Structure 1
Amino acid sequence: MIITTERAIRVFLVDDHRTTLWGLERLITGAERMQLVGSATSIMELLVDPESRNADVIVLDLDLGGVDSAAALAELHQTLSARVLVLTGARDADAHRRVVMAGARGVVRKEEPVDVLLRAIEKVHEGDVWINRALIGDIMDRLKGGNPPPDEHSAKISSLTPKELEVIATVVRHKGAKSLILAESLSISEHTLRNHLTVIYHKLELRGRLELYVYAKERGIGLVNS
């Protein structure tokens, strides 16, 4: 009989309240299938900590000492391979929508039971998006409602190179996959993949892989079959 051991989900925590951070650290340490690889009280601490490069999921407080961490999501997406799950005390749906549109893979309110946070970490790690159905529908509607005229879309899409079309097709085919999986599928390095995605986002005026996925699915970019 072959016995396989599933690797623990490596979690990095970011919260400026040390008491909250202490509690989160113990929650993750005591959870099955999870490993605490580091913690920080600011975005700067997160980025300079070498363990952030080893994380699978970053649990990020939305309000870090009065600083909106949503503004750093684009940099985190470009710098780190981990998926970001936002933890917030805000009930404002606009704030939740904003962080997802900026690249976060999910939102959990601090008032939720701890098992909800643990489940959200697991689902985000698996490649899912942890947001409620109403918010998903609203995001899709906003993406569609903000679309420029078709001729402008055509011009943008025609500017894509064959390789960029291949990258987009791979993003859609491997929905939610880590950058390493995408890069291996394309036979390129993660660094090269990030460069391609940066150019694609610029050409299509998108802000992350969620928007790219929706945009590509709606327009069949890259002869996508998924």
Structure 2
Amino acid sequence: MTGPGAGGNPVRVCLVDDHAVVRRGLRGYLELVEDIEVVGEAADGHTALDVVAALVADGAAPHVVLMDLLMPGTDGVTATRLLTQRYAGIAVVAMTSYSEVDRIRSALEAGASGYLLKDAEADQVVDAIRQAQRGEMPLGPAVARQLARAFRAPGRAARDPLTGREHEVLALLAAGLSNREIASRLSISERTARTHVSNILDKLGVRSRTQAALYAIQQGLAPAPPSA
């Protein structure tokens, strides 16, 4: 069976932004992309939760939600946390005008799979959607620079709970490799790779591969995403 965005069913996307013109612009462009389908939109976090719940009930759950962070009522960080807690298979990519590290961290700690600025080029948004659907970590260049700067600051090291093999797995995870690719690279079974990833998430106390990848960058186990 062919997966979404891989020549089979399109990647289903839900747009969440309190500015109608932003949603209209994103929808207009994404509807031109063959392997992406916009299945819903919302103007605030509360409505987004209702829209996604309805889509899930109809068997058309979005694969990716593009989420604005600053909205009236239920904000994007809160909505992201609730969505990722309720629906493990839905990836959220935060989109906002702000690149401060605290905002980035809040979104990623809430469960967002990636973070883009609203001045991103249209093809960057499309790439981010595809990456998020594949379980990767899309970060815009400015966001990557901010994270790299913050994670290279002194005094951030913490006691490392991982084994040597788990370090190897984590470094490959942070490079965007799937469990199958990690297994191939390390000459282990895919089941063993999956077990290592699960153990890593448990030991680090994180809920997603994205958050584990950020830990790897912070500890110098993997390079920060490219800044250009």
TM range (shorter): 0.5 to 0.7
Is the CA contact 1:103–1:209 (under 8 Å) kept in the aligned structure 2? no
How far apart are residue 59 of structure 1 and its match? 0.7
CA distance in 2 between partners of 1:173 and 1:21 (Å): 35
Structure 1 residue aligned with 2:211: 211
Alignment match, 1:102: 110
For 1:140 and 1:53, how far apart are their aligned partners in 2?
Answer: 38
1:50 aligned onto 2:46: no
Task: Please tell me whether residue 88 in structure 1 is matched to residue 90 in structure 2.
Answer: no
What is the CA-CA distance between 1:170 and the residue it aligns to? Answer: 7.2
Aligned pair 1:59/2:66, yes or no? yes
**Measured at CA, do residues 174 and 204 of structure 1 come closer, stay the same or move farther in structure 2, by a change above 3 Å?**
closer
Aligned match of 1:21: 23
The equivalent position to 2:122 in structure 1, one of 91, 114, 117, is 114
Structure 1 residues 72 and 170, CA gap change in structure 2 (3 angstroms): farther
Q: In 1, distance between residues paired with 2:103 and 2:131?
A: 21
Change (3 A) 1:203 1:123: closer
CA deviations 1:80-118 (Å, max 9, x no partner) are 412211111234343234323433222222233333322
- Residue of structure 2 in register with 1:12 after alignment: 14
Q: Is the 8 A contact 1:14 1:21 kept in 2?
A: yes
Within the alignment, does 1:137 sit opposite 2:148 as a pair? yes
> Which aligned segments of 4 or more residues in structure 1 are displaced greater than 6 angstroms?
168-172
**Aligned-residue offset at 1:60:** 0.8
Distance apart, 1:33 and its partner CA: 2.0
- TM-score normalised to structure 2 length: 0.61
When residues 219 and 108 of structure 1 are mapped into structure 2, their CA distance, relative to the original with a 3 A threshold, is closer
> What's the CA shift for 1:36?
1.4
Q: Gaps spanning 5+ residues in structure 2: where?
A: 1-5, 183-189, 222-228
Distance 2:162 2:110 in 1: 22
Give unmatched runs, 5+ long, in structure 1: 159-164, 188-192, 221-226
Instruction: Give the Å deviation of 1:53.
Output: 6.1
Residues 211 and 140 of structure 1, relative CA distance in 2, 3 Å threshold: farther
Give the CA deviation at 1:77.
2.2
CA distance in 1, matches of 2:54, 2:103: 27
Task: Give the equivalent residue in structure 1 for 2:32.
Answer: 30
- 1:63-212 counterparts in 2 under 5 A? 63-65=70-72, 67-78=74-85, 79-126=87-134, 127-132=136-141, 133-138=144-149, 140-141=151-152, 145-148=155-158, 150=159, 176=176, 185-186=190-191, 204-206=204-206, 208-212=208-212
Q: Percent identity?
A: 22
**Residue-by-residue CA offset, 1:39-73 (whole Å, 9 max, x unaligned):** 22333224422248632221111122254311333
Q: Residue 112 of structure 1: SS of its match in structure 2? A: coil
Structure 1 residues 170, 93: closer, same or farther in 2, change over 3 A? closer
Letter in 2 for 1:138: R
- Whole-angstrom CA distance in 1 between matches of 2:162 and 2:72: 41
Deviations 1:181-217 (A, max 9, x none): 99xx549xxxxx9xx96x9767644354333345579
Cα 1:140–1:93 shift into 2, 3 Å: closer
For residues 141 and 16 of structure 1, the distance between their equivalents in structure 2, rounded to whole angstroms, comes to 35
Cα deviations by residue, 1:121-144 (Å, 9 ceiling, x for unpaired):
2333342422323134135447x8
